[in-house]
A and B are shown apart, each in its own frame.
Chain A
Amino acid sequence: MGREIAFLAEFVGGSPTHAALELAAGAADLATQSGGSAVALAYGPGAKAAGSLGAAGASRVVLLGDDPSPAITHAAAAAAAAGELEPLAVLAPATPNGRDLAAALVGLLGLPAFGPVRAVRIEEGRVRTEQATLQGTVITVSEPTETAPATSVVLVLPSTFTPREGGSGSAAVAEAPKAEAGPLGKAKIVESHPAEAAVANLEEAHVIVAGGRGVGSADGFAILQELATALGGAVGASRAAADAGWVPYQLQIGQTGKVVKPALYVGCGISGAIQHRVGMQTAENVLAINKDPDAPIGEFADLFVVGDLFTILPKLTAEIRRRKGL
């Protein structure tokens, strides 16, 4: 008998998050291995329209709730849905909200938990995951024990799966089984402070130009933004730059910020401390520009340019524009 693969699908402002689209594609792939189908557990504003996830890979949708309350308040509904479906796995994005809901499932249902993982597969009807541990110095492969419950909770890093493109079709949407919201439902948002200017979503960026202490000021980030624009990407930062107030914390990459996996990461004036490295080390191509020839980033970048970013970046932006015929 086939087993379902469920995934958490968060909606914000009427649309699924990029993570939801990634997990829909991943769940659909895993469902072909488990002989079941991909089921979205959808929540957040706009989740009523989650039938659109059919085009992304979901076979059906269970609606946990579409109010804008904290993700954790949907925990009881998620547990009721997972209890009824008994999926082989519940995939959750390794974001703060995804982790909170995944953790609640672990606690409420006593489930084995994995991750954050960078690969997951089904072997002989069992979940097998690959995780980088100890700051990426080792990779561990894990699976549930013999006596573990039949559903595994798997935290998935951004860009582990690629969203489907050009899909079509709509998935049936059903309400989650009725459940009391319980104590976890008591957290509520009492104030909301959106930023005045739009903030880029680094998890979706194909190219990231990141700045660190060496950028020196908020104004210094302007030349990074110009290069990012020329490359069709977004600007990111180290914790030092975010702590200094040069950029919003939403742009921080690293252990306590975003984990990103762009096709190209350009580190400018970033030393490459381990806390930053764990947030970008799976980038496909790493270019680093730093004045310090001994900066740790020089040990793991693909191309390491020792030089002054304030001289090199404007010239590089001009050269890229010239070659593109702009």
Chain B
Amino acid sequence: MVCLKQVPATTSEKRYTADLRLDRAASEAVINPLDEYAIEQALRLQESGAVESVGYLSMGPDQAAEALRRALAMGGDDATLVTDPGLGGADAWATARVLAAALDRIAPDIALMGMASDDARGSLVPGAVAALRGVPLLSYGSELRVDGSVARVRRLTADGFDIVEAPMPVVASVTDQVGEPRYASLKGIMAAKRKPMETWSLGDLGLSPDDLHGAALTRVVEVRKPEAKPPTERVENVSADEAVTRIADWLAARKLA
């Protein structure tokens, strides 16, 4: 089961609502690019026969169904969207709580996620979901493999890599080294329209807004633009020797060389 998030495209205009939440309706939305690597990894495991089926799970507004449909166009079998008015502004803890409840119902051997999301970048959801579900975590895999009843990831270390293993079921996250995500074919896009998609509310998961502390334990109290940097100093159309003198002087003025 690949968990994916719909995020604003990096190129699109972003706005905040009056209560300091990201206005998701105002931005062009895409599958979080790092989640596409998780999709790719899952589909490769399915193609090699290592896993039987691939499903997708997302939590978000109604429009997040589009992201699930796009994932289904890449491959896989079915999708589930958890959507509820009570989930607006969900933080890492609330997101993990809801995903964990949904995964408890689905009970996949592997819940697979991207290593980070483009918009929040905490990378906390995989570990928090594993803790909430009471299953092992295999994180930051540059490759995920399944061997009988165990899953393994290749994971970068300070100066090399380790192979880390745990008995399934597990929560796993993968990096952008697993292989470039495929494009959806026209045939895939057509096929995706017929693949089953379920929609669950908080009530379907046996959760109430109170269980989620109003969907967040954190709140944003201020949003501002970063301080403007001084304009870039450009050196162009000069000889290499002149450029080198300018750089060396610039470094010296900043006591960097």
Residues in B neighbouring A136, C-beta threshold 8 A:
226
Residues in A neighbouring B187, C-beta threshold 8 A:
none
Per the 8 Å Cβ criterion, residues 279-326 of A in contact with B are 285, 287, 293, 298-308, 311-312, 315-316, 319-320, 323-324
Per the 8 Å Cβ criterion, residues 200-257 of B in contact with A are 213-214, 216-226, 229-230, 232-237, 240-241, 243-248, 250-252, 254, 256-257
Given contacts A145-B213, A256-B175, A308-B240, contact A303 B235 (CB under 8 A): yes
Minimum Cβ distance to chain A for residue B33 (Å): 9
Residues in B neighbouring A99, C-beta threshold 8 A:
122-124, 127
Residues in A neighbouring B240, C-beta threshold 8 A:
307-308, 311-312, 315
Q: Which of A75, A113, A155, A184 contacts B91 (CB 8 A)?
A: A113
CB of A307 within 8 A of CB of B236, answer yes
Q: Which of B96, B175, B250 contacts A107 (CB 8 A)?
A: B96
Given contacts A106-B124, A145-B213, contact A306 B234 (CB under 8 A): yes
Number of A-B contacts (CB under 8 A): 280
Which chain B residue lies CB-closest to A147?
B213
Given contacts A104-B130, A139-B225, contact A324 B93 (CB under 8 A): no
Residues in B neighbouring A217, C-beta threshold 8 A:
none
A182: Cβ under 8 A from any B Cβ: yes
A1: Cβ under 8 A from any B Cβ: no
Q: Which of B16, B122, B162, B241 contacts A192 (CB 8 A)?
A: B162
Minimum Cβ distance to chain A for residue B252 (Å): 7
Q: CA–CA, A234 to B244, complex, Å?
A: 20
Residues in B neighbouring A155, C-beta threshold 8 A:
122, 124
Q: CA–CA, A107 to B219, complex, Å?
A: 18
A70: Cβ under 8 A from any B Cβ: yes
Residues in A neighbouring B165, C-beta threshold 8 A:
187-190
CB of B119 within 8 A of CB of A133, answer yes
A193: Cβ under 8 A from any B Cβ: yes
Which chain B residue lies CB-closest to A72?
B137
CB of A134 within 8 A of CB of B218, answer no
Residues in A neighbouring B131, C-beta threshold 8 A:
75, 103-108, 184
Residues in B neighbouring A207, C-beta threshold 8 A:
256
Given contacts A99-B124, A111-B93, contact A256 B115 (CB under 8 A): yes
A194: Cβ under 8 A from any B Cβ: yes
CB of B122 within 8 A of CB of A116, answer yes
CB of B218 within 8 A of CB of A191, answer no
A114: Cβ under 8 A from any B Cβ: yes
Q: CA–CA, A315 to B119, complex, Å?
A: 41
Minimum Cβ distance to chain B for residue A52 (Å): 20
Per the 8 Å Cβ criterion, residues 95-118 of A in contact with B are 96, 99-108, 110-116
Q: CA–CA, A261 to B241, complex, Å?
A: 29
Residues in B neighbouring A185, C-beta threshold 8 A:
136
Q: CA–CA, A110 to B93, complex, Å?
A: 7
Residues in B neighbouring A305, C-beta threshold 8 A:
234-236, 243, 246-247
Question: What's the tally of chain A residues with a CB closer than 8 Å to chain B?
Answer: 93
SS class, residues of chain B in contact with chain A: mixed
Minimum Cβ distance to chain B for residue A172 (Å): 29
A250: Cβ under 8 A from any B Cβ: yes
A218: Cβ under 8 A from any B Cβ: no
CB of B125 within 8 A of CB of A103, answer yes
B8: Cβ under 8 A from any A Cβ: yes
Fill in one digit per residue for B67-101: 1 if any A CB lies within 8 Å of its CB, else 0.
00000000000000000000000011100110010
Residues in B neighbouring A60, C-beta threshold 8 A:
none
Q: Which of B97, B134, B160, B256 contacts A194 (CB 8 A)?
A: B160
Residues in B neighbouring A324, C-beta threshold 8 A:
257
CB of B256 within 8 A of CB of A231, answer yes
Fill in one digit per residue for B130-169: 1 if any A CB lies within 8 Å of its CB, else 0.
1110111111101000000000100111111111111100
CB of B223 within 8 A of CB of A264, answer no
Given contacts A70-B164, A188-B166, contact A107 B217 (CB under 8 A): no
Fill in one digit per residue for A233-262: 1 if any B CB lies within 8 Å of its CB, else 0.
000000100010000011000011000000
Q: CA–CA, A301 to B247, complex, Å?
A: 13
Residues in B neighbouring A149, C-beta threshold 8 A:
217
Minimum Cβ distance to chain A for residue B112 (Å): 15
Residues in B neighbouring A320, C-beta threshold 8 A:
248, 251, 257
Q: A96-B123, A133-B119, A249-B142 are in contact. List 13 more A-B contacts (CB 8 A).
A: A72-B130, A100-B139, A106-B92, A113-B93, A135-B10, A139-B226, A141-B220, A142-B218, A191-B163, A193-B163, A255-B34, A304-B232, A315-B241
What are 15 contact pairs spanning A and B, CB under 8 A? A102-B124, A102-B127, A108-B131, A112-B218, A116-B122, A139-B226, A142-B219, A149-B217, A194-B159, A250-B156, A256-B34, A306-B234, A306-B235, A315-B240, A319-B244
Please give the residue numbers on chain B whose beta carbons come within 8 Å of chain A beta carbons, in ascending order. Answer: 8, 10, 14, 16, 20, 22, 34, 91-93, 96-97, 100, 115-116, 118-132, 134-140, 142, 152, 155-167, 175-177, 213-214, 216-226, 229-230, 232-237, 240-241, 243-248, 250-252, 254, 256-257
4 shortest A-B CB distances, which residue pairs? A103-B127, A107-B131, A112-B217, A107-B128
Please give the residue numbers on chain A whose beta carbons come within 8 Å of chain B beta carbons, in ascending order. Answer: 12, 70, 72, 75, 96, 99-108, 110-116, 128, 132-145, 147-149, 155, 182-195, 198-199, 201, 207, 230-231, 239, 243, 249-250, 255-256, 263-264, 274, 278, 285, 287, 293, 298-308, 311-312, 315-316, 319-320, 323-324
